[in-house]
């Protein structure tokens, strides 16, 4: 998937995106610096962080100190078989300062941008039946017309067996949140920026990606915390964290693991097929140690339950949210200050939501 995005995966769970030549690269760096400034108290920018990859500053290889990379969260990391789609949003893929040549070049690449408001730049879909990935490059997206765009996008949500309507529904919810943000802000306009969609293509949700150890089957649970084969010593400051949106919990736990687990079991019994996502973070090593795993309901009914006494779970508040889906905004080389709503981006988001809704309804 790194090749699809033109970025390098770093073993520490981040990706490195090489800074583009000026003015684009510095503009993107400036955008991230502004949004992630530790002194930032603008509620609009603070909310925007929820929809971006986390930003960890810039990095240069010791051997080439003049090469600069943005260090960003790898949104695909928690997935075992990540299905990825990159969709450029907006009616214009050139910014207000583009030359006539640049405008001509961009328009000729996809003359339907103005009318459709988005363009599929690429996708990578895992097919369960054949255990292979199907990849589509930018030519695929540019071949889509008003008539074929719905089928063209629905390909991303097809596992080879079936259409993943759960993923479509969760994607709509996430895009709607981003649309709400755009409806409420008049300080930034985004050109040639994308949405990155990621979901879990594997139906073996018991596989933990972090160290590729199958949960609780190949090893006995240690006295600490089971998670992807790593043991985190129980040290009175384990945080179960997740973003508070989607009704997810944010709790600091020092005692009473079993009480927490009982609540979890109660929540499980109310749901048949929900997937449970686990995120544990050791607050002392902020952002260094994180893992995520999924366990399906059938599995919990089996013999794994007794082995999980020391693991926390969190069940999403809405069944719709049970699909493990990420939608993040990426690519900010053409973001400009503004004093109006970003109507082109809003148009694209609304049109994309309509297409997703049509996929869901048919």
Q: What pLDDT is attached to residue 162?
A: 95
Distance set, CA 117 to CA 131, 206, 337, 343 (Å): 33, 38, 21, 10
Contact 122, 1 (CB under 8 A): no
Q: Domain 75-203+322-361 maps to which CATH number in 3.30.470.160, 1.10.287.3510, 3.20.20.70, 3.20.20.80?
A: 3.30.470.160
Instruction: Give per-residue pLDDT as tens, 209-260.
Output: 444 444 433 334 344 433 333 333 323 333 333 333 333 322 332 223 333 3
In this predicted structure, the answer to whether residue 289 has a pLDDT above a threshold of 70 is no
Q: What pLDDT is attached to residue 69?
A: 97
Q: What pLDDT is attached to residue 87?
A: 98
Domain ranges of the chain: 1-74, 75-203+322-361
In this predicted structure, the answer to whether residue 29 has a pLDDT above a threshold of 60 is yes
Instruction: Give per-residue pLDDT as tens, 174-201.
Output: 999 999 999 999 999 999 999 999 999 9
Q: Minimal CA–CA distance to 23: which of 105, 96, 92?
A: 96
Calculated CA dihedral for residues 77, 273, 173, 249, nearest 10 degrees? -70
Mean pLDDT, residues 6-15? 89
Q: What pLDDT is attached to residue 204?
A: 63
In this predicted structure, the answer to whether residue 3 has a pLDDT above a threshold of 90 is no
Q: Minimal CA–CA distance to 183: which of 356, 353, 355, 357?
A: 353
């Amino acid at each position: 998937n790194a090749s699809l995005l033109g970025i390098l995966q770093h073993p520490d769970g981040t990706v490195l995106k090489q800074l583009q030549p000026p003015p684009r690269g510095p503009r993107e760096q400036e955008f991230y610096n502004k949004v992630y400034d530790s002194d930032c108290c603008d509620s609009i920018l603070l909310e925007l962080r929820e929809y971006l990859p986390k930003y960890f500053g810039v990095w240069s290889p010791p051997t080439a100190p003049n090469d600069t990379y943005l260090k960003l969260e790898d949104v695909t990391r928690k997935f075992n078989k990540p299905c990825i789609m990159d969709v450029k949003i907006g009616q214009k893929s050139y910014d207000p300062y583009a030359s006539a040549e640049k405008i001509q070049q961009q328009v000729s690449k996809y003359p339907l941008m103005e009318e459709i408001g988005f363009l599929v730049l690429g996708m990578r879909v895992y097919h369960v039946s054949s255990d292979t990935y199907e990849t589509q490059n930018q030519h695929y997206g540019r071949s889509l017309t008003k008539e074929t765009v719905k089928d063209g996008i629905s390909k991303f949500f097809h596992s080879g067996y079936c259409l993943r309507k759960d993923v479509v529904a969760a994607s709509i919810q996430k895009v709607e949140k981003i649309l709400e943000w755009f409806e409420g802000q008049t300080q930034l306009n985004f050109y040639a920026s994308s949405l990155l969609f990621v979901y879990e293509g594997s139906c073996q949700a018991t596989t933990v990606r972090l160290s590729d150890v199958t949960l609780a089957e190949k090893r006995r649970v240690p006295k600490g915390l089971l998670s992807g084969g790593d043991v985190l010593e129980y040290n009175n400051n384990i945080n179960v964290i997740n973003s508070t949106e989607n009704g997810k919990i944010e709790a600091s736990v020092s005692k009473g693991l079993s009480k927490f687990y009982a609540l979890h079991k109660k929540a499980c019994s109310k749901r048949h097929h929900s997937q449970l996502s686990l995120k544990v973070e050791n607050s002392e090593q902020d952002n260094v140690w994180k893992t995520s795993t999924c366990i399906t309901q059938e599995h919990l009914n089996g013999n794994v339950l007794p082995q999980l006494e020391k693991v926390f779970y969190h069940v999403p508040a809405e069944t719709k949210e049970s699909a493990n889906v990420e939608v993040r905004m990426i690519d900010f080389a053409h973001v400009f200050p503004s004093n109006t709503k970003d109507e082109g981006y809003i148009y694209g988001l609304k049109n994309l939501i309509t297409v997703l809704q049509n996929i869901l309804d048919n």
